[in-house]
């Protein structure tokens, strides 16, 4: 038990350090720093990836409906937090918005999750009877249908049709994003470590055995699907805040694939893996590899070969291929990061070296 406590404490210290770093960046980094846009995106997609991991990695349900649930969350959040006096301006093509109040940020966030979860509940009933690839196709279809539906003219007074929604509450501070994402992920981790989490893993490992052990498959799959979608909805709302504008065209299938890629790179079934992968993925695609897209000239004036628009994606794709080839389990596999174990490992190497040193002295 003490061993376990030490692990928890060490990991909490790590989380504390990360939060402190974020607050420091928030306070002292120049407002033009890339850290802001990158970290906002990382927080958003870390949550999206973790919620997808809950479904795909921990319950073994291969679902690709993430973009759809994020869209529902993003729209709900955006529609509810536009200031009342701005509404007629945003919805000018449809006369006025049907909603005439503004909700506080936290309430709108939770509602964004609830709307996504409600739709997940509705489609979960028929869709979760399907297995593996079929489930993926059905949920993918759902995401596309939702994207089509919100653009309909007749929903205009609510969703603003195909026009983007903007002017809603969108905090700039990274701390807000980190807090939303952090609390959500913390709740998911608590759940995975509870008796329900074990039941989810049992379903992933062997459905037939899980059912024979008294786990109601339909109920638990539905539960996992609804909870995953709830947090997906919140991630969608965070994405809306990030972009300061919501439009259905940004919630494409390719976004779902991006999240899936983050999950795979991080390790299917590892929460810390998903977070690390989200950071690496978005930091490199949005920032570290950005220079590859710029035409660069050497001091002598000749153009550096290959660098130019589009080259970033080539390098990026090759990197992903390398990761998938050499880390077949992703960065973390199904393990979780543990500071304590890391320290112990380093210590054991160190101690062994010293022991060797001692021997050579004699």
- 346 lies in the site for another protein, by CB under 8 A: no
Residues 26-65 that bind another protein (CB under 8 A): none
Pair 96, 84: CB distance under 8 Å: no
Q: What is the dihedral of CA 208, 213, 216, 222, to 10 degrees?
A: -70
Pick the closer one to another protein by CB: 43 or 227: 227
Give min distance, CB of 251 to another protein, in A.
Answer: 28
Could you tell me if 53 and 274 are in contact, meaning their C-beta atoms sit under 8 angstroms apart?
yes
Taking the complex as a whole, the smallest distance from the CB of residue 271 to another protein amounts, in Å, to 14
- Read off φ and ψ for residue 94, nearest 5 degrees: -120, 30
Choice between 190 and 349, CB closer to another protein: 190
**Closest approach of Cβ 229 to another protein, in Å?**
14
- Helix 132-150 with 66-80: angle, nearest 10 deg: 30
d(CA 97, CA 80): 10
Question: Residue 272 half-sphere exposure, CB side, CA atoms within 13 Å?
Answer: 14
Compute the least distance from the CB of residue 115 to another protein, in Å.
19
| Cβ closest to another protein, residue 89 vs residue 194 | 194
**Quick one: which segment of 88-96, 150-158, 197-205, 257-265 binds another protein (CB under 8 A)?**
197-205
> If binding is defined by CB under 8 A, does position 227 make contact with another protein?
yes
Cβ of 130: how many Cβ atoms within 10 Å? 16
Interaction of residue 209 with another protein, rule CB under 8 A: yes
Cβ at position 26, least distance to another protein in Å: 29
Q: Which of 208, 249, 300, 355 binds another protein (CB under 8 A)?
A: 208
- In the complex, the smallest distance separating the C-beta of residue 60 from another protein, rounded to whole angstroms, is 10
Residue 270 C-beta: closest distance to another protein, Å: 12
Closest contact distance (angstroms) between CB of 91 and another protein is: 37
Q: Does residue 128 interact with another protein by CB under 8 A?
A: no
> Using CB under 8 A, which of 93, 104, 125, 206 touches another protein?
206
Q: Write the interaction track for another protein spanning residues 249-288; mark x where CB under 8 A is met and - where it is not.
A: --------------------x-------------------
303 beta partners: 297
Using rule CB under 8 A, residue 120 touches another protein: no
**Is residue 202 a contact point for another protein (CB under 8 A)?**
yes
Rule CB under 8 A: which residues touch another protein? Answer: 187, 190-191, 194-196, 198-199, 201-202, 204-206, 208-217, 223, 227, 269, 334
């Amino acid at each position: 038990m003490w061993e376990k406590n030490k692990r928890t404490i060490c990991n909490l210290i790590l989380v504390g350090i990360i939060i402190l770093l974020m607050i420091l960046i928030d306070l002292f980094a120049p407002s033009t720093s890339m850290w802001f846009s990158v970290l906002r995106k990382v927080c958003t997609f870390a949550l999206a990836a973790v919620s997808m991991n809950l479904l795909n990695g921990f319950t073994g349900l291969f679902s690709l409906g993430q973009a759809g649930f994020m869209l529902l969350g993003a729209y709900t959040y955006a529609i509810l937090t536009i200031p009342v006096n701005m509404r007629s301006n945003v919805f000018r093509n449809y006369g006025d918005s049907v909603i005439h109040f503004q909700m506080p940020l936290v309430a709108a966030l939770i509602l964004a999750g609830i709307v996504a979860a409600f739709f997940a509940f509705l489609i979960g009933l028929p869709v979760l009877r399907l297995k593996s690839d079929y489930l993926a196709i059905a949920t993918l279809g759902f995401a596309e249908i939702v994207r089509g539906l919100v653009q309909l003219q007749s929903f205009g007074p609510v969703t603003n049709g195909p026009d983007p929604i903007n002017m809603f509450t969108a905090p700039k501070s990274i701390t807000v994003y980190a807090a939303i994402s952090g609390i959500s992920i913390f709740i998911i981790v608590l759940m995975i470590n509870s008796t329900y989490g074990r039941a989810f893993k049992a379903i992933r490992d062997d459905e037939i055995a899980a059912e024979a052990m008294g786990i109601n498959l339909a109920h638990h799959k539905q539960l996992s699907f609804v909870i995953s979608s709830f947090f997906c909805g919140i991630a969608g709302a965070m994405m809306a805040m990030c972009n300061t504008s919501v439009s259905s065209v940004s919630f494409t299938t390719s976004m779902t694939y991006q999240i899936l890629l983050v999950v795979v790179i991080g390790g299917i079934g590892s929460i810390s893996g998903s977070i690390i992968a989200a950071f690496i993925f978005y930091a490199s695609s949005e920032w570290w590899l950005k220079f590859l897209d710029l035409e660069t000239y050497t001091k002598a004036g000749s153009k550096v070969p290959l660098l130019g628009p589009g080259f970033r994606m080539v390098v990026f794709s090759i990197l992903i291929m390398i990761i998938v080839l050499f880390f077949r389990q992703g960065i973390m596999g199904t393990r979780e990061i543990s500071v304590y174990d890391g320290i112990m490992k380093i210590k054991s190497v160190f101690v062994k070296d010293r022991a060797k040193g001692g021997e050579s002295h004699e």
